[in-house]
A and B are shown apart, each in its own frame.
Chain A
Amino acid sequence: MSNEKEKQKVVSVASAKVVRVKSISVKSSGVTLLKAGSQDFRIPVRLGKDSCGY
């Protein structure tokens, strides 16, 4: 998939809802990481939860 199509897809998923973000300063690089990710984040033990309302 081309980058252009990729861009269209993610934009179509998100809606342009307006919210007010409280006191989060955007770093000089222009990116503020609110939560670090991990490639094995979805391992259930790490999640500590599963579905069905648990």
Chain B
Amino acid sequence: MKYKWSVFTVRYVLAGGNVLVKNFLTGAIAILENEVMDLMDMWLDSQTQFAPNSLETLSGENGFIVPEDKDEFHEYQNFFLHTRNEQAKLFTLHFLPTMKCQLNCPYCFEHGVKRQGTMTDIILCQSICWLDRYLEVNPEVASLKCVLFGGEPLLVKRLVNESLSKFKSLAEKREKEYWTEITTNGILLDVDTAKMLKQYNLRRVQITLDGPKELHDTRRVGSDRHPTFDRIITNVRMLLDGGHVSRINLRLSLDIQTADLLPNLIRFISTLGYGDKIHLSLGIVVPSIGTTIKTTAEMTIAQKAIIAWQVAKECGFSVPDEFLVGPWCVAIAKHSAVLQSNGALQKCFCTVGRSIFDFGHVSGLPISYTQDIRFEKFSRINRCVEEECPYLPICGGGCIHDSIVKNGKKGFKQRFCQRKLIATLNQGLLFLRYSS
């Protein structure tokens, strides 16, 4: 059998000449002595003599080296579609009990949409019927995850309590695993709310911070400009001290304004003393349909992100070992829906409030899965395949919402390539993990 380097293998030269290799399909990572790398390159060129000893480690499941006749991109595309269509066992329901929010963040993707709507009893009742029917016609769904989203869901706590109670009961009736997650601005969290959410198997709380207090309090505020940073931190302490959740996800906005201040914010968070009970993520602020954001060069954002992760590592926070962009986004999952307060269904939570993105309504009972063919234009990765991009398994053609913002309706069919960002940030994360 003849072999070749996998198209998904990327190599990085280290000090002294050794080479770090990562395969972006299999996730395998290895270091090769430079002589071994040279030997392997030479052998692959000729393949006339006995194979080097390293072939066994570099091939097989690790996939750094693959059989020469392997059409990796074709196999990847088949694998992706098979996984997406035949192995989907989780239904992710983003539930928006209200579109209202007390904040007016400048970058919010819900700018320009009507924010008055709160779900009525009739819509909630229709939602439960719709979900019940959905689980019946899609018996392969084994788990139901409800993500509270908005607007700010905690503006309507009574409705949240009532809805979650019904979702959980429904999942129990249908013998499905069930859990709750919440994306909240964190301002209205209190002990009673925490106890209420815990009843519904609360597994994840995500709260966003826009830099240190001084900056955050100029951006994540309402029309009264009342500061929110201290209240959020108090509530984070309350959740963790009271054991209401085992961990909190703090999403740190990354943009031109926050980038250089993130190290200070991360150091501040570390002084709270919760260690790994706080999980950090970076949310790159991007333009949306209703907002224009001053963007920064991909390389700059990547470098700022790496600096932030370096500080996070020094402070003892867990650091991701790679940066994913789009392939397994909820909007292209087979079983997923964004259930808005008016009962309209969408695939992507970045488009909420814009009826052009509705694909259905809970008043119509489902007969199949939550399909919006606009989010199934998988040929959008064709150019990535032509260019033999090694990052395809962690990118999948990029974010569809970003592509729509850039290209309008045509964006559904087009990729959103951020190769420089992906390459630089993943290299940085890799070196952060494996270098001192």
A→B interface (CB under 8 Å): 1, 3-4, 6-7, 9-11, 13-24, 26, 29-45, 47, 49-54
CB proximity of A16 to chain B, nearest CB, Å:
5
Q: Are B28 and A36 in contact (CB under 8 A)?
A: yes
A-contact 0/1 string along B408-436, CB 8 Å cutoff: 00000000000000010001000100111
| Residues of chain B with a CB closer than 8 A to A31's CB | 30-33, 36, 54, 57-58
Q: How far is the CA of A54 from the CA of B283 in the complex (A)?
A: 9
Q: Are A14 and B62 in contact (CB under 8 A)?
A: no
Given A4-B45, A7-B5, A32-B30: A22 in contact with B436 (beta carbons within 8 A): yes
| Residues of chain A with a CB closer than 8 A to B90's CB | 44-45
Q: Are A44 and B83 in contact (CB under 8 A)?
A: yes
Q: Are A39 and B4 in contact (CB under 8 A)?
A: no
Given A9-B388, A33-B28, A37-B27: A52 in contact with B36 (beta carbons within 8 A): no
Q: Are B10 and A10 in contact (CB under 8 A)?
A: yes
Q: Are B393 and A42 in contact (CB under 8 A)?
A: yes
Given A6-B4, A9-B388, A44-B328: A51 in contact with B54 (beta carbons within 8 A): no
Residues of B364-393 at the interface with A, using a CB-CB cut-off of 8 Å, are 388, 390, 393
Q: Are B63 and A52 in contact (CB under 8 A)?
A: no
Q: What are 16 sample pairs from A and B whose C-beta atoms fall under 8 A apart?
A: A6-B5, A6-B7, A13-B390, A21-B14, A21-B15, A31-B36, A32-B30, A33-B62, A34-B31, A35-B27, A35-B321, A41-B25, A41-B26, A42-B27, A42-B83, A43-B83
Q: Are B62 and A36 in contact (CB under 8 A)?
A: yes
| Residues of chain B with a CB closer than 8 A to A18's CB | 13-15
Q: Are A39 and B324 in contact (CB under 8 A)?
A: no
**With contacts A6-B5, A42-B83, A52-B349 known, what are 13 further pairs, Cβ within 8 A?**
A18-B14, A18-B15, A21-B18, A22-B435, A31-B30, A38-B61, A43-B83, A45-B87, A47-B328, A49-B328, A50-B329, A51-B326, A52-B399
| Residues of chain B with a CB closer than 8 A to A23's CB | 436
CB proximity of B422 to chain A, nearest CB, Å:
11
SS of A interface (majority): loop
**Chain B residue with the shortest CB-CB distance to A33:** B30
CB proximity of B45 to chain A, nearest CB, Å:
5
Q: Across the A-B interface, give the 9 residue pairs with the lowest CB-CB distance, nearest first.
A: A37-B28, A37-B26, A30-B36, A22-B436, A19-B435, A37-B62, A35-B29, A41-B27, A30-B33
SS of B interface (majority): mixed
Given A19-B431, A29-B57: A11 in contact with B11 (beta carbons within 8 A): yes
| Residues of chain A with a CB closer than 8 A to B333's CB | 44, 50
Q: How far is the CA of A14 from the CA of B36 in the complex (A)?
A: 18
B→A interface (CB under 8 Å): 4-5, 7, 9-15, 18, 20, 23, 25-33, 35-36, 39, 41, 44-45, 53-54, 57-58, 61-64, 79-80, 83, 87, 89-90, 206, 251, 281-283, 321, 324-330, 333, 349, 388, 390, 393, 399, 423, 427, 431, 434-436
CB proximity of B411 to chain A, nearest CB, Å:
16
Q: How far is the CA of A35 from the CA of B434 in the complex (A)?
A: 11
Q: How far is the CA of A22 from the CA of B431 in the complex (A)?
A: 11
| Residues of chain B with a CB closer than 8 A to A9's CB | 7, 388
Q: Are A20 and B15 in contact (CB under 8 A)?
A: yes
| Residues of chain B with a CB closer than 8 A to A36's CB | 28, 61-62
CB proximity of A15 to chain B, nearest CB, Å:
7
Q: Are B27 and A16 in contact (CB under 8 A)?
A: no
Given A24-B434, A43-B83: A15 in contact with B427 (beta carbons within 8 A): yes
**Chain B residue with the shortest CB-CB distance to A13:** B10
Q: How far is the CA of A7 from the CA of B23 in the complex (A)?
A: 14
**Chain B residue with the shortest CB-CB distance to A28:** B53
Q: How far is the CA of A10 from the CA of B18 in the complex (A)?
A: 15
The answer, among B31, B44, B63, B326, for a CB contact under 8 Å with A21, is B31
Q: How far is the CA of A54 from the CA of B328 in the complex (A)?
A: 11
Q: Are B54 and A29 in contact (CB under 8 A)?
A: yes
The answer, among B13, B28, B349, B435, for a CB contact under 8 Å with A16, is B13
CB proximity of A2 to chain B, nearest CB, Å:
9
